[in-house]
Amino acid sequence: MVSSTMEQYLLEPDSVFQWIWATQVPSNIKAFVWRAMLGRLQTRDNLLRRQILRDVDDAKCAFCRLEVETCSHLLFTCSESMAIWYECFAWLGVSIAQVADPRIHLLQFPVIGISKSQKLAETAIWMATVWSIWCVRNRVIFSGGGAR
Ligand SMILES: [Zn+2]
């Protein structure tokens, strides 16, 4: 079954960007999420494609070191990231299917909200979560810190 939010997205793909800009989070986080939606993060697969990284082994995920780091893998399907999402869902008291597409992940996330203010608050939680995953990833890469 497709939710009404999902139907809105399918009919109106740019609606996700309206949610991003309407959410009250710092502008750098909005810009980060915007780039994630467009596949323009400096993830290792993008660096490999642009030949900034030369070896596919250098493009492995900073968390699991098993798969190439794509935006979808890093933020949603990596076992480390999924553990964070499951904690987040448990905290919110919901059960949501894990998907790899950032737009669909965001759009299915706030469906638990009823009012616009609830949806915006839940979108802020989603944006803070992906931003936090990105910050931990950068700490692991640039400071040698662990994922936990
Ligand atoms: Zn991984």
Judged by average pLDDT, the poorest of 46-60, 76-90, 108-122 is: 108-122
Report whether pLDDT(81) > 60: yes
Rounded CA-CA distance 39/19 in Å is 18
Q: How far is the CA of 7 from the centre of ligand 1 (A)?
A: 30
Q: How far is the CA of 75 from the centre of ligand 1 (A)?
A: 9
CA nearest neighbour of 112 among 4, 16, 1: 4
Residue 65 in any domain: the answer is yes
Q: How far is the CA of 115 from the centre of ligand 1 (A)?
A: 35
pLDDT tier at 97 (50, 70, 90 boundaries)?
A: confident
Residue 75 in any domain: the answer is yes
How many domains are there within the chain?
1
Between 47 and 15, the higher pLDDT residue: 47
> Apex CA 141: angle with CA 98 and CA 148, to 5°?
55
Residue 60 in any domain: the answer is yes
Q: How far is the CA of 82 from the centre of ligand 1 (A)?
A: 10
Rounded CA-CA distance 64/105 in Å is 21
Q: How far is the CA of 61 from the centre of ligand 1 (A)?
A: 5
Q: How far is the CA of 69 from the centre of ligand 1 (A)?
A: 7
Residue 12 in any domain: the answer is no
Q: How far is the CA of 99 from the centre of ligand 1 (A)?
A: 15
Q: Taking a C-beta distance cutoff of 8 angstroms, is the pair 102, 9 a contact?
A: no
Q: How far is CA 55 from the centre of its chain?
A: 25
Residue 2 in any domain: the answer is no
Residue 14 in any domain: the answer is no
Per-residue pLDDT, averaged over 114-141, amounts to 90
Domain housing 75: 31-140
